[in-house]
Structures are given as C-alpha cells and as structure tokens.
Amino acid sequence: LINRLEGPSELLVLPNENISFILGEQHVVAISNVGGISAFLDEKEKIKARNAQENIILFADKRMKWTIKTKSDSSLFEDLVLELLVREPYIHSAKKVAPTNQGDNGRDIICEYNTAYNNLRVGKQQSSLEIGQLIVQCKTNIEGSKKKSIGKSDVDVADTIYDYKPDAYLLVVNSQVTRDLTEYFEKIRNRDDLHWIDWW
C-alpha cells in the first residue's frame, strides 16, 4: 500500500503486541493482528494437544520406569523434579531446601511462581504477574520395599502448610498415592486458604 502511495522505498516495520506499524516517508499503515497473551496461550494449547497425539503414535510401546534403589537415587529424583519445575513457564525460581538425607520439614523444593498464570486471561487493569510461594515435597519408595504407594502417614502436609503458609503445595512421588491421601488432599483443597494443591 505504501509503495503504491509513495513508490518503492525502504519501509520501517514496528511490531507491537496486537498491532504492527509500517512507516513510510509520508504515510503510516497500522495492521492489527492477534498477538496478545490470549492468542499465545491458545496456540500453546494446540501445540500441546498435537504433541500428545504424536507421542501416542511414536511412543505407544515406550514407558518410563524410575527405579529407586538407594537414597542417592532419591536425590536424583529430586533433581529431576527440580529440572522439570524450572522449565515450567509459571515458575520464576526453584531451589532445593537441603540435601536429601537432611531434615527439611516437608519442604524438598521451594519455588516462586506466578499465581496469575493459571487464570490464563488477565484483564487490562489486572497485573499479569503475582508472585506466590510453592512448596514441593518429593516422596520415593525404595525398590524391594513392601510399600508400593505413598499414604497419608508418609507426608506431613498439614504441618507444612500451617508452619510455612505457602500459596501452593505439590507432592511428587515415584509410585502412586493412596486413596486416603487423595481424599485428604481434596479436603485440604476445599478447606484451606491455598491457591492450589496438587500431586504428581
């Protein structure tokens, strides 16, 4: 359009979040585009869905099994969880509280995270960055032990939440959680003043 108005010339393009400006010597053209956070998150969900379908086709016969034979393996499991958390877009910082063989009062990893991220849609007058604290507890079962799952007696969720008052809590296990622990988490989720509580 500018070339038609002005003839061939060097153009300067200034992209913005949802509009791009094309500057000529005498004219300015504004082109709107869907480039805000909503469009980004929509496309991200589409990519995740496509990746899930690709994984079903490409890795249908593959299943990862994490074998914990020693306490050193438990430490590596915590390192893996830390690495996965760092890669999450809503996590701003994550660090281990203490070595695996030291007491941590139910806090293996502490994170700073954006509490507004899960809302996905942020209003114009609302801050898109609200920092909260996430406490992560990792629990593993040693291979060969009689216990095949993590139960309510294995974690001290209530004390951890009461003592440190985090905004969110996450339990990560290498096996599975019992029904009683799942129901306990659901009660805490509905009762306590937590932004969210989850388990992997």
Q: Which domains does the chain have, with CATH numbers?
A: 2-32 (no CATH), 71-199 (3.40.1350.10)
Q: Maximum distance among all alpha carbons in the chain?
A: 81
Task: Look up residue 29 and give its two tokens.
Answer: 């053209």
Q: What is the pTM of this model?
A: 0.65
How does residue 136 score in pLDDT terms, banded at 50, 70 and 90? Answer: very high
Over residues 63-113, the pLDDT tens digits come to: 667 778 877 788 888 999 999 999 888 888 999 987 766 666 778 899 998
